[in-house]
Structure 1
Amino acid sequence: MTGQGVVFKYCTCDEGRVGQRRSRRCPRLAERGHGLWAFDTRMPDLTGRRRQVRRSGFRSKSAACRVRDELLAQTPELRAGAVWTLEQWLKHWISTRTSIRPTTARSYQSHITLYLLPHLGHYRLGQVTARQLTEAFAVLAQQHNRYGEPLAGSTLHRVKATLRAAFNAAIREGLVTDNPARRIELAPARRPHAVVWTEPRVQTWRRTGEREPVTVWTAEQLATFLQNTNTDRLHALWHLIALRGLRRGEAAGLRWCDVDLDTRQLVISQQRVEVTGAILVGPPKSAASRRTVALDPHTVAVLRAHAQRQRFERRAADEDWTDTGYVFTKIDGLPLRPSYVTNRFRLLRRNLGLPPVRLHDLRHGAASLAHCAGADLKLIQDQLGHASIVLTADTYTTVLPPAQHNAAAATAALVLDAARRVRGDITRKSRAERRRANRITARRKPCLINLNPQVSGLALNLSKQATSRRGRATGEQPLSA
């Protein structure tokens, strides 16, 4: 066993004090059947570092040696999978991820720290089963978030996606051969759909405070907000987000070199995001997010007024001005923090007494307004920078009330026109059937009245003569009139 560690016997009987075990000092260890066996060895992991590995609970020395030898005979990758805990692997995995976005890395780290390590970190990486994962997620479903509400189904699905990604990486490294996270069954998470702040919903909110998770303003409510903030320094920013659907980070990261007011368009080429208090400047959220956004003449006028205001602030600041090239800045020229934009919008909305919406909900509203104005889904997808039109259709195109009324009227008109055509067909068919029935009846019914007097008299005489002949033949006398 040289170089393979040690195999030893230990005892689990009480020593007379609570929480104390005799371990390897028990005088009864020499007795047959008393105590258990364990082994302690060291073996290198994937990083080349030698780690201590200890296993215990074997009934015999031979069983402990067999498990130790099997472990040492495995490849370094499988050995690491059998030795490493899930906590060790998750920490190693997240520390080596270099190709993901900072916000994605922050999300992964949050899932690992808050949910995965407390419930699954102690399991061996190569011994995790789908049953263990299912039980852990059942416990997670009973937890509450920072607002005291149960964890949303979407959160559980994102945590599961993080775990699946970690196991997929372990498979690529050769640490495990299966991904048990793919067999976790969770209740389907429904994507929240934006609802419009109609007057009944506004009254209910003012009375009870109840609101939907995602809400959008009507065109009138949005116009009220924009009109009452036309003197705000960031009026052009609210205008761009509300009408063209820019993300917060895209608006905060917009530079004048990306804006062409003469051709009425701007290019989304970067964004500013806030990760654990630090501001990071990087590419847009996805490849589809790098896009060109068309501008209407009114938006161009708003941006020209904003540029003029910024030039005035630059002259007023003089040497204190920092030329950063950003469209939306502080009064000294420095770029805005995304969190400041959110807080500023919330304050303006509250001061105006409008129903609550998030800053990101203005992006939902921009899609709904474009859809209501007649833009098709493909144009809206390009405007918002979505990689999939399904997301655009399912989440961002809540139809506003006027469009709903027009669609309802068009549907009713279609049905009513069809009903009139069907009713006309039935009427024409009934008339034709009646005429056909009359002709058949006229052919089958004997003629009882003849309007020609001569023909009628001749028929009456012939009838009398026939009756007289029948009477002479039978001996009957005709009745007198």
Structure 2
Amino acid sequence: MAKRRSNGEGSIFQRQDGLWVGRVSLGYDLINHRRITKTLYGKTKAEVRRKVTEATRNLDQGLTIQSRSQTVGQFLNSWLKEVAKPRIRPSTYRSYEQIIRNHLEPGLGSLKLDKLTPQHIQTFLNAKAESGLSVDHLRRVLRAALNQAVKWDLIIRNPAIAVSVPKSEKFEYLHLDPDQARTFLGFASKTRYKALFTVAMAVGLRLGEALGLRWNDIDFEKGVLHVRNQLQRIDGKLTLVPPKTARAKRQIPLPDFSIEALRLHRFEQDETKLANSDVWSEMGFVFASTVGTPADPRNIRKVLKGILRDADLPNLRFHDLRHTCATLLLAQGTDPRTMMETLGHSQITLTLNTYSHVIPALQREAADKMEAMFGTTQNR
């Protein structure tokens, strides 16, 4: 018959065969959704009591069975679905998911969560930085996840806090020069999305912003465009969502050539609507498919690749048209504050840092202007 345990000894008892047994509750397994209990054995009651005390001490220090058994990869995926997903935008969730799947899990995922050290993280980030990747976002996602691990008592402290972010190689944005931009628009005019590429080049719209435009967002009388929504793919479906920041929701004056391109596009869309009246879905999109539904971003990228190939231009992304717009505006003397408002940047420092490659040329131009103004006078 098993002996009853004394008060204050936890779950310790002696089996009929004389072996002493102790059980310690180590919390709840968030992965398998079950309570974790560790069973300890010893020849004497004192031996088991020592083991129970040690296990309890480890529990107080955050060294639970759960933290020892799960890997960093398992924890990151659990955190992403249970904590991050309900609190962040779908687009941000997809970004986090890609960061975990493509970077954090391959680099750190096989390590045990409670064995992850600042040195592991530093080595990982250094390697990523050497490959040219900007690592600040990787560290921020990892640090946020590990903060939750601390709150859940899975680890004692967050090892990502002690890590320095290595400086990445400066990413050079691709853009077209003025002659290339004119060539691009000439070849784009041969496609059914010529107005899309014209507007993107003229005011630097993101692809999602351009495809999210509806006709009531265009004020032809005042010559302005309102960015009120963006088109995103969420769970496989194209969906309209509001801009990510307050500054991204903006009003942009349009140059005349882009207004004329939009007028012609609306006329051509009306013809398509009439020809396809039996299948047309009136949704009001400026850049719609041949049946009125939102244009698929993948199709736009295919058209872009064809234009670049036919025009013998560098292989750009759609986003590089935005960089082209910004670079051309800066080169023509547009002040950074106006550029920030046009592009919908949240901070002016983002505008300046992103397009710093144009600044030296502007400084040279400013010096030449000062020379033209005072040089001849001073040399008399």
Is the CA contact (8 Å cut-off) linking 1:368 and 1:396 kept in structure 2? yes
**Residue 184 of structure 1: aligned partner:** 163
Deviation at 1:186, TM superposition (A): 4.1
Q: Distance in 2 between matches of 1:328 and 1:384?
A: 20
- SS of equivalent to 1:216: coil
**Residue 54 of structure 2: aligned partner:** 67
- SS of equivalent to 2:329: helix
**Residue 291 of structure 2: aligned partner:** 332
Is the CA contact (8 Å cut-off) linking 1:326 and 1:335 kept in structure 2? yes
Q: Distance in 1 between matches of 2:56 and 2:376?
A: 84
Pairing partner for 1:110 from 90, 98, 105? 98
Deviation at 1:65, TM superposition (A): 3.0
Q: Distance in 1 between matches of 2:328 and 2:115?
A: 53
Structure 1 residues without counterparts, runs of 5 or longer: 8-37, 143-149, 194-213, 425-481
- SS of equivalent to 2:141: helix
Deviation at 1:386, TM superposition (A): 0.3
Deviation at 1:333, TM superposition (A): 1.3
**1:42-121 matched pairs, under 5 angstroms:** 43-45=26-28, 49-52=33-36, 64-71=51-58, 74=60, 82=67, 85=70, 86-96=72-82, 97=84, 98-121=86-109
Is the CA contact (8 Å cut-off) linking 1:53 and 1:83 kept in structure 2? no
Is the CA contact (8 Å cut-off) linking 1:364 and 1:397 kept in structure 2? no
Tell me which moved more, 350-359 or 298-307. 350-359
**1:67-466 matched pairs, under 5 angstroms:** 67-71=54-58, 74=60, 82=67, 85=70, 86-96=72-82, 97=84, 98-121=86-109, 123=111, 125=113, 128-137=116-125, 141=128, 151-154=131-134, 156-172=135-151, 176=155, 178-193=157-172, 214-274=173-233, 277-396=236-355, 398-399=357-358, 406-407=365-366, 409-410=368-369, 412-413=371-372, 416=375, 420=379
Q: Distance in 1 between matches of 2:54 and 2:321?
A: 61
**Structure 2 counterpart of 1:321, one-letter code:** W
Alpha carbons of 1:392 and 1:271: their partners in 2 closer, same or farther (altered >3 Å)?
Answer: same
- SS of equivalent to 1:292: strand
- SS of equivalent to 1:153: coil
Tell me which moved more, 103-112 or 235-244. 103-112
Is the CA contact (8 Å cut-off) linking 1:5 and 1:42 kept in structure 2? no
Is the CA contact (8 Å cut-off) linking 1:157 and 1:189 kept in structure 2? no
Q: Distance in 1 between matches of 2:36 and 2:334?
A: 64
Is the CA contact (8 Å cut-off) linking 2:187 and 2:310 kept in structure 1? no
Structure 2 residues without counterparts, runs of 5 or longer: 15-20
Question: Deviations 1:30-82 (Å, cap 9, x if unpaired)?
Answer: xxxxxxxx9875544286943446699x9x8666333223246x49x885875
- Comparing both chains, which one has the higher relative contact order based on Cα–Cα distances under 8 Å and sequence gaps of 6 or more? 2
Alpha carbons of 1:258 and 1:121: their partners in 2 closer, same or farther (altered >3 Å)?
Answer: same
- SS of equivalent to 1:301: helix
Question: Deviations 1:150-177 (Å, cap 9, x if unpaired)?
Answer: 74331x3332221011123334556555
Alpha carbons of 1:355 and 1:115: their partners in 2 closer, same or farther (altered >3 Å)?
Answer: closer
Deviation at 1:249, TM superposition (A): 0.7
Deviation at 1:188, TM superposition (A): 0.3
Deviation at 1:299, TM superposition (A): 1.8
Alpha carbons of 1:376 and 1:66: their partners in 2 closer, same or farther (altered >3 Å)?
Answer: same
Q: How many residues align?
A: 360
Tell me which moved more, 242-251 or 408-417. 408-417
Q: Distance in 1 between matches of 2:365 and 2:157?
A: 54
Deviation at 1:269, TM superposition (A): 1.2
**Structure 2 counterpart of 1:166, one-letter code:** A
When normalised by structure 2's length, the TM-score is: 0.80
**Residue 465 of structure 1: aligned partner:** none
Largest Rg, 1 or 2: 1
- SS of equivalent to 1:241: helix
Tell me which moved more, 119-128 or 336-345. 119-128
**Structure 2 counterpart of 1:67, one-letter code:** E
Deviant stretches of 4+, over 6 Å: none
- SS of equivalent to 2:276: helix
**Structure 1 counterpart of 2:133, one-letter code:** G
